[in-house]
Amino acid sequence: MPSPRLIVGLGNPGASYADHRHNLGFWFVDQLADELKITLTPQGKFHGSIGRYRELWLLEPSTYMNSSGRAVLALANFYKILPDEILIVHDDLDLQPGDIRLKHGGGHGGHNGLKDIQACLSTPDFWRLRLGIGHPGERSEVINYVLKAPRKEEQALIDRALDRCLLAWPQIAAGDYAAAQRVLHVRETEK
């Protein structure tokens, strides 16, 4: 598999959304930018904040979650980045806090950010780093749930998951997704 050339963290822009569960993608990209010692800078033509490390681009769309695809498509088209070279980092209701899954392709699972990216790229064949936030139990509560900060005990699990993502970063960066999955796909209870 090719190494990723574009890492996209999904979230909603602005301070009022910063600590929400829906912004886990932004949290990871911020931590990765710190690790790589790069700064994300707003770029209007790419509809988001971007940073570059060698041949790798980091992106946090400023389009709000439901229109994330516009930012991904703009940057991918400009730099001729193929879907296989894109890793989308996002929150996932179907995984418990602290659980992580790295996968290629598949459906959007009702995630509006993924849905828009698939529509804009005309393919689901990109990589996803799915970070668990748990489910509120009632479908009618989902919007309210994702637009709130995690509870203290959930935050601790999520923080450890983000640490594990950074630990797996060398394997992800090398395109060795199988090795990265061995680091990432460990349930918090197995540690």
Query: Which positions are annotated as active-site residues?
Result: 22
Q: Cα separation of 116 and 156, whole Å?
A: 30
Q: Is 12 annotated as a binding residue?
A: no
What strands lie across the sheet with 41-43, from one edge to the other?
41-43, 48-53, 56-61, 6-9, 86-92, 127-132, 100-104
Q: Is 23 annotated as a binding residue?
A: no
Q: Cα separation of 92 and 38, whole Å?
A: 27
For the record, the structure tokens of 127 come out as 């990589």
For the record, the structure tokens of 16 come out as 């009022």
**Contact between residue 6 and residue 66 where contact means Cβ atoms under 8 Å apart:** no
What are the respective helix, strand and coil percentages of the chain, to the nearest 5?
45, 20, 35
DSSP of 105-163: S---TT-HHHHHHHHHHT---SEEEEEE----SSGGGHHHHHTSPPPHHHHHHHHHHHH
Q: Is 53 annotated as a binding residue?
A: no
Q: Is 77 annotated as a binding residue?
A: no
Query: Among 145, 159, 126, which residue's Cα sits nearest to residue 22?
Result: 145
Binding site feature residues for tRNA? 17, 64, 66, 112
